[in-house]
Amino acid sequence: MSTDLKIFKIGGGILDEVSQLHRFLAELARVPGPKILVHGGGKGASQMLHDLGITPQMVQGRRITDAATLDIVTMFYAGKTNKQVVALLQAEGVNALGLSGADGNVIRAVKRPVTDIDYGFVGDLPADAVQAGLLHQLLQSGLLPVLCAITHDGQGQLLNTNADTIASTVARALTPHYAVELHFCFEKNGVLADVNDDDSVIPQLTAAQYQQLRSEGVIAAGMVPKLDNAFAALEAGVTRVVIEHAQRINEPVKTILCRS
């Protein structure tokens, strides 16, 4: 385990703005060493569903991935977004290679069981979902794998999987090969002590401090599942988790999560 591997996850905010995406990818190209990029989807898929007259199915505030929706998100995430990101990285001199979970069987998911809600074609990731060997081989060849949020079940069915979950599951799976740093990149400078003050970045956050701030309501809403996920990755052997602004990955302002 002689090298560090950095895994970056980007989401909708960056993907929706081409200029932001360009700038992020140019910064990413400057980061030394082996890297993996995981991306979610932007608003484009929702817009296309709307343009095609497909109404998003929502149950208890959660989107249901029906067959028509799966088709569109597969086209958008694995097609348009993934290939655009790969082509832009190639233009930056980075030998990127885009993958869905089906490619090389790199992420095999399990369709979420139907309980009170049927989420449709949504894939959850068991502990052994990721085939780390292929990713390791691609990294050793100097490639930068770009993973989209589409997986498969091994039986021919594509599935829609949360991109944060993919990033942390891939990070865990690669800990036998690398000291893994997991970077969640978004539109804020890090975890904020005051959600309205972008300069209130908490530079370091332990699990105990997180629980305290969460119980006080300082950390709330969308950050909670992200940080739960992040601390779980730390517990599972990921060396470091970083929460940072997608435009500032090469700057010192960020939140670094610590095991204790």
Q: Where on the chain is the footprint of its own copies (CB under 8 A)? A: 48, 51-52, 71, 74-80, 82-84, 86-88, 90-91, 95-100, 102-105, 134, 137, 141, 143, 150, 152, 154-158
Is 42 annotated as belonging to a binding site? yes
**Do the Cβ atoms of 206 and 260 come closer than 8 Å?**
yes
How many other CB atoms are found less than 10 A from the CB of residue 155? Answer: 7
Q: C-alpha angle with apex 206: 205 to 207, nearest 5 degrees?
A: 125
Is 41 annotated as belonging to a binding site? yes
User: In the complex, what is the shortest distance from the CB of residue 187 to its own copies, in angstroms, rounded to a whole number?
Assistant: 23
Longest dimension (CA), the chain: 52
Is 222 annotated as belonging to a binding site? no
Q: Considering the complex, state which of residue 89 and residue 257 has its C-beta at the smaller distance from its own copies.
A: 89
Which residue in 165, 151, 186, 145 sits closest to 42, CA to CA?
A: 186
How far apart are alpha carbons 130 and 206 in whole angstroms?
Answer: 27
Q: Does residue 161 sit in helix, strand or coil?
A: coil
Is 63 annotated as belonging to a binding site? yes
User: In the complex, what is the shortest distance from the CB of residue 241 to its own copies, in angstroms, rounded to a whole number?
Assistant: 28
User: In the complex, what is the shortest distance from the CB of residue 260 to its own copies, in angstroms, rounded to a whole number?
Assistant: 40
Q: Considering the complex, state which of residue 52 and residue 220 has its C-beta at the smaller distance from its own copies.
A: 52
Q: Residues forming the annotated binding site? A: 41-42, 63, 160
Q: Residues forming the annotated binding site for substrate? A: 41-42, 63, 160
